[in-house]
Amino acid sequence: MFVTVTANPSVDRTVEISELVRGGLHRASAVHVHAGGKGINVARALVRNGLKARAVVLAGGVAGEQLIALLGDYSIDVVRVAALGPVRSNISVIEPDATVTKVNEAGARLSAEETQAFSDAVLDNVSDASWVVVAGSLPPGMTDDFYAGLIRLLGPSGAKVVVDTSGPALRAAVKAGPTLIKPNLEELEEAVDHPLWTLRDVVDAARELRALGAGAVLASLGSKGAVLLEADGVWHAEAPVDARSTVGAGDAMLAGFLAAGGEGVNALRAGVAWGAAAVSLPGSMMPCPEDVRSHPVQVHEKLDWDRPIREKPQ
């Protein structure tokens, strides 16, 4: 069983338009509405591929009712923790070249009692978990060390813990010793507090986070694929994509990585294949087995260390 933890879920609305013009009137060519939040996306991807997932979510207000209703379209074991404030709404505007403009709400402020109830609900639902996925931003009212404290409390359960978050919450969580962390390029740069230009920079940053306490680092690099750093090696994998929407692609990649065992080259290959499949789908739709193609994935055991990951400003 995979258990996902989403403290700050959302109702995600993705709008497709021909071109984004600041101050202009836009008519949508398509609109997609999904239950969102990193942990929920991971759970959606897992169950679409025949695996069992339980999602522990905070859900309040009318939007919370909509979120739970949307999750009813999936075979997810949903553990709803009540909250007084409403679930946030996130909007993504996508242009034909897959450029995404996002507007994410912060989420409702939680009380100390709601925070404790959420932590208790997680601990009460991990007895059969092989992996616990702690993912997404923290809502107002939760301290930056919430995930770190949760990781320590999960220790006796025996479950492996993966963290996918950003900023101070990621730095604090790393020091609690998670099995795996999955930052994207921007989150990795924020964690080490300097820009990363090449594959060598990415690997060095991942090594810095391993030295702080992370067991392994799976760094998603957008169109440049992903880097996996473990105790016994480092690999880079990539796949060609026909991009339609990048929303949730990193979550699909993490789901594929965990579904394939959560370590090593085969898991990296699967993760990149799932991520590439997600990019080809509309909105934040998660791929199913028919969407995933592993054969185009290239895994490099000898890295091109000086390969650019992003362009340096002139």
Report whether pLDDT(296) > 80: yes
Per-residue pLDDT reduced to its tens digit, 165-219 = 999 999 999 999 999 999 999 999 999 999 999 999 999 999 999 999 999 999 9
pLDDT the model gives residue 162: 98
How far is the C-alpha of 280 from the C-alpha of 90, rounded, in Å? 21
Per-residue pLDDT reduced to its tens digit, 83-116 = 999 999 999 999 998 889 999 999 999 999 999 9
**Average of pLDDT values for 131-135?**
98
Mapped onto helix, strand or coil, the DSSP state of residue 243 is coil
Q: Which H helix or E strand runs over 7?
A: none
User: Is 251 an active-site residue?
Assistant: yes
pLDDT the model gives residue 171: 96
Report whether pLDDT(144) > 90: yes
In the chain, what percentage of residues exceed pLDDT 90? Answer: 89
pLDDT the model gives residue 283: 81
**Average of pLDDT values for 240-261?**
92
Mapped onto helix, strand or coil, the DSSP state of residue 220 is strand
pLDDT the model gives residue 246: 86
How far is the C-alpha of 100 from the C-alpha of 107, rounded, in Å? 21
Sequence ranges of the domains in the chain: 2-20+29-300
For residues 108-134, b (16+ Cβ closer than 10 Å) or e, as one string? bebeeebbeebbebbbebbeebebbbb
Residue 295: which pLDDT band, with cuts at 50, 70 and 90? confident
| CATH architecture assigned to 2-20+29-300 | 3-Layer(aba) Sandwich (3.40)
Per-residue pLDDT reduced to its tens digit, 60-83 = 999 999 999 999 988 999 999 999
pLDDT the model gives residue 211: 97
pLDDT the model gives residue 298: 94
Q: Is the model more confident about 283 or about 135?
A: 135
How far is the C-alpha of 67 from the C-alpha of 86, rounded, in Å? 10
DSSP 198: B
Catalytic residue (choose from 251, 291, 304, 306): 251
pLDDT the model gives residue 314: 66
Entry pTM:
0.93
pLDDT the model gives residue 124: 97
Residue 152: which pLDDT band, with cuts at 50, 70 and 90? very high
